[in-house]
Amino acid sequence: MGTNPLLAADRLPEFSAIKPEHIEPALTYRLNANRECIETLLTDVESRGADFTTAILPLEELGDQLGRVWGPIGHLHGVMNSPELRKAYNDCLPALSRYQTEIAQDTRLWRLYQKVAETLPDDAATSPAASVVNHALRDFHLAGVDLPAAQKQQFKTLVEELTQLGARFEQNVLDSMAAWSAHVTDPAQLAGLPAWVIEQAALNAGESSLDGWLFRLDQPTYVAILTYGEYRNLRWRFYRAWTTRASDQADDAQGDNENVDNTATIERILELRHAVAGLIGFKNFAAYSLATKMADSVAEVLGFLTGLAEKSHLTASEELAELECFAGASLEAWDIAFWSEKLREERYSVSDEQLRPYLPLDRVLAGLFKVMTRLYGLTAQQVDDIDVWHDDVSYIELTQPDGVIVGGFYMDLFARPDKRSGAWMDGCINRKDFAGHFAQPVAQLVCNFAPVSEATPSLLTHNDVLTLFHEFGHTLHHLLTRVDYPSVSGINGVAWDAVELPSQFMENFAWEPEVLQMISGHYETGESLPDELRDKLQASRTFHAGLQMLRQLELAIFDLRLHAEYDPQVGGNINALLGEIRQQVAVIKQPDFNRFANSFSHIFAGGYAAGYYSYKWAEVLAADTWAAFEESGIFTTDIAERFRCEILEIGGTRQISDAFKAFRGRTPQIEPLLAQSGIANETP
């Protein structure tokens, strides 16, 4: 096994050397080795006694070793998908799920953690060690460790199938997108589209030996066509393709609908999640999900969401009425982005296409790193001799003023056909420092920006900039941790409804005049964003904030109610439930063919099931945090150091409510978010 690159766990992954044939042997080896080590450990502690150092830290190391094998596999599955890699990945999911549940249901390990918990001193209740133990004890219960044998096996079977279904869901979305394209031969249909979109479509057509232009269904192209395409039928075609991905409504161009339709997959996921929750003693999966979150109950979360929707509804209704008045007609869903951009441009005399030349990627990155330096004293340096998975990928190290490297991260920023859409940050390596085991944290920052063209470098929209700042906030959260135990370092162990705090907080800097000067420079002249354009951009910040707020609340309420109200006798009743929520919350009418849920990967293939509300919940924390920075000065060293110490460095070792109070001096308030959204004075 020595030649298997996945087993070189003492250094950065050798991504370019990892082949599909390495995956199953490496995982099998690691799982078997872990099992043997656990049996040896249990025998040793039985004869010698157990404490945190002798019993728990070896288990921390075994968990980290497994992550060093499976992490690169899962990452490549998201960014370099191929039929061979996908098969190897899917073939391994049952074994991995079986092992994870087996460990989580091992009563010997459970009792071991209980014994160690009794040895921890009372004054260590909030220590990293206590956090490791307490999180594990909670997770043992949530995995059914105290269930009878037959129910344990049932839980294991359910979770194993859920793991496979989540992967199938995401792969169906990817396949549906990859199979669809729009071939255009009439130049009139290109009216309004940015030059980079047209250029890429021409290249696509040439590669396929076609005349004209071939548009693919990737996120940058979809957003550009919906926002700028003057030819309404092209907007409709893209809107329909995007909102029917992996559904029964997808057109024939998206492949074999029966094979990629996620409808049955969703129903089975909901059925199994409900069964899992019931086995552990929860009324529904939403309640089960909240057991690891900051919020206390489904009722509390639903009250928060509906209250925010009531406060936002009037603003959103007025925004839509104004937009339709401006357009001179009632608008369909595929018209909103186009006319919104037209109105924004007229009102503020600013558009994304005006801003894009001033936001070349290299200048934005340089400015982003300057912001980091001003806040935390860190510097960023690209390292060129690091093995990567694609030529587009770079590796950056962060260094303290004393020269100590705190960690590094990979950047993979451009859209590709074999890469899932969206943007995310994953941990590649967790920080650890104990018993001779040391590792600096490493992250993977992934986006889907428009690639470099023959005529221009990669030019970003301001929304792209916000996305980059957001994901970099997650990256800093992972890299700046001071916790030495992997299971609670970085973002690990952080309540899911608070994990978006550092990322959403970071977005605020991209609106500041001083920062806009740092991140902008015309790709041809180097000129920073003119004051006039900068002022207009800032003035547009709350433009259609009510509509944007309601869209996120619609999805969050749908996710929560879908899991809280599921009845196995009736099924998910997905489209009816979503229609009901839209009737209550939304102001933009969606067409009957819309099947958004079939590509809602956050909740069906990601970690946000019954937790999509986390974005809004954490946004309250982030806006209140930003208000503290505004009060002191956004680059004031003391406030940045306090944020780093109380929030970014603590990992999962502290309740986020306590951490926020230590930072802010009080509990979070919703008013800063309402003010930031321009709806502070609205009453229901």
Q: Using alpha carbons, select from 113, 112, 95 the residue that is nearest to residue 43.
A: 112
Residue 444, helix vs strand vs coil: strand
- CA angle, 583 then 586 then 589, to 5°: 75
Interatomic CA distance for residues 637 and 605, integer angstroms? 40
Q: Which amino acid does the sequence have at 198?
A: I
Counting other chains too, the contacts that 61-64 makes at CB distance below 8 Å and 24 or more residues apart are: 61/432, 61/435, 61/437, 62/34, 62/37, 62/38, 63/486, 63/487, 64/430, 64/432, 64/437, 64/439, 64/486
Helix axis angle for 574-585 and 298-327, nearest 10°, is: 70
Interatomic CA distance for residues 312 and 194, integer angstroms? 33
Contact in structure between 285 and 610 (CB atoms under 8 Å): yes
Sole residue written with tokens 């049932």: 154
The DSSP-derived string for 135-169 is: HHHHHHHHTTTTS-HHHHHHHHHHHHHHHHHHHHH
Active site residue 471: yes
Q: Which two tokens stand for residue 341?
A: 């951009």
Q: Using alpha carbons, select from 646, 626, 648, 635 the residue that is nearest to residue 476.
A: 648
- Residue 79's Cβ-count burial label (10 Å; 0-12, 13-18, 19+) is buried
Contact in structure between 273 and 607 (CB atoms under 8 Å): no
Helix axis angle for 545-564 and 574-585, nearest 10°, is: 140
Cβ neighbours for 328, distance < 8 A, ≥ 6 positions apart: none
Interatomic CA distance for residues 104 and 194, integer angstroms? 52
Interatomic CA distance for residues 645 and 640, integer angstroms? 9
Catalytic site residue from 60, 61, 170, 471:
471
Contact in structure between 653 and 492 (CB atoms under 8 Å): no
Q: Bridge partners of 184? A: 213
Q: Using alpha carbons, select from 201, 226, 217 the residue that is nearest to residue 260.
A: 217
Contact in structure between 605 and 169 (CB atoms under 8 Å): yes
Contact in structure between 420 and 78 (CB atoms under 8 Å): yes
657 to 410, 441, 646, 654: CA distances (angstroms): 31, 25, 11, 8
3-state secondary structure 78-140: HHCCCHHHHHHHHHHHHHHHHHHHHHHCCHHHHHHHHHHHHHCCHHHCCCHHHHHHHHHHHHH
Interatomic CA distance for residues 167 and 375, integer angstroms? 39
77: phi then psi, degrees, rounded to nearest 5: -60, -30
Contact in structure between 197 and 235 (CB atoms under 8 Å): no
**Catalytically active residues, by annotation:** 471
